[in-house]
Amino acid sequence: MKKIPEDSHYFESTNGNIHYKSIPVEKLHDEKEQMPIIFFLHGASKKTQNAEYWNPLQQQIINHCIPIKVDTLGNGLSHFYGREIEETFEIKLESLIELVNHITSQFSHRRFGICGRSLGGALASCIAAELEDGIDLLGLIAPGGMKTLANRLNKWNKPISVLWDVKDPIVPFQSFEFLKKLNISTLRLYTVGHTSEATVISLSRTDAQDVTPTHVPELIAPQLFSQFLKDLCTQI
């Protein structure tokens, strides 16, 4: 099994200290390395969502990219500087934009992407729209906030892949309609369960009562997640 050493790093943003895990920084500058560097953003729950969330999928991830797994402010080992700072989506987003811009601006020879799940997907879509010149790939897993945030991607013309359970009980799959209306030619959809959407790669599932709809399609279908990530990382 392929191994990849990871170190903890900290970035001092305007609103707090952001913790992230990646391979040793000097190796990120390896000009011989062709795989893209992908920022992975977790969901909202403070109990279960942090940089460690991606560990069960580590093998699928490192087969296709070099990950930077981030604790968003308020989760994991990232923390706000003071209690007077209100924990809002906008504050989390501002700090993440600072982190991503800080790292991507150091490179001229690497492709960068963002992959976010649930709340992390909403944050990822905003970061990609804000830093379009520095972000080449966008992966969304059951992303939240599409009704209000999808239009931020109205000029996006780079690869974007979406992974969803069509029966997601937390973020309804109908939210995909807001992405589809943008008519992004590079948009690909991967689903657990069948759907009539075009250009879909689906994993079959039964409607039997013992099959529970899931908000974690990447964990339920790791092979589909691997395909989703592979296709995203190899698109030009």
Write out pLDDT tens, residues 58-67. Answer: 999 999 999 9
Distance CA 204, CA 220 (A): 12
Instruction: Give pLDDT, residue 91.
Output: 92
Distance CA 213, CA 8 (A): 34
H or E segment at 20? strand 16-22
More confident residue, 110 or 51: 51
Residue 1 has pLDDT above 60, yes or no: no
Instruction: Tell the CATH topology of 7-234.
Output: Rossmann fold (3.40.50)
CA–CA dist 148, 118 (Å, integer): 14
Q: Which residue has the higher pLDDT, 27 or 54?
A: 54
pLDDT at 4 over 70: no
Tokens 């709340």 sit on residue:
119
Helix (H) or strand (E) holding 7: strand 7-12
Give dist(CA 62, CA 65) in Å, integer. Answer: 5
Which of 146 and 104 is assigned the larger pLDDT?
104
Residue 219 vs residues 24, 144, 163, 194: alpha-carbon distances, Å: 27, 18, 11, 18
Q: Are 31 and 37 in contact (CB under 8 A)?
A: no
Q: What percent of the chain has pLDDT over 70?
A: 92
pLDDT score at 236: 60
Q: Which helix (H) or strand (E) holds 79?
A: strand 79-80
Three-state DSSP class for 224? Answer: helix
Q: What is the pLDDT of residue 68?
A: 96
Cβ burial 45-74 (10 Å sphere, 16+ → b, else e):
eeeebbbebbeebbebbbebbbbbbbbbbb
Q: What is the mean pLDDT of the chain?
A: 89
Question: Which pLDDT tens digit goes with each residue over 19-46?
Answer: 999 987 767 777 667 889 999 999 999 9
Report pLDDT digits (tens) over 109-165: 789 999 999 999 999 999 999 998 899 999 999 999 887 777 788 788 888 999 999
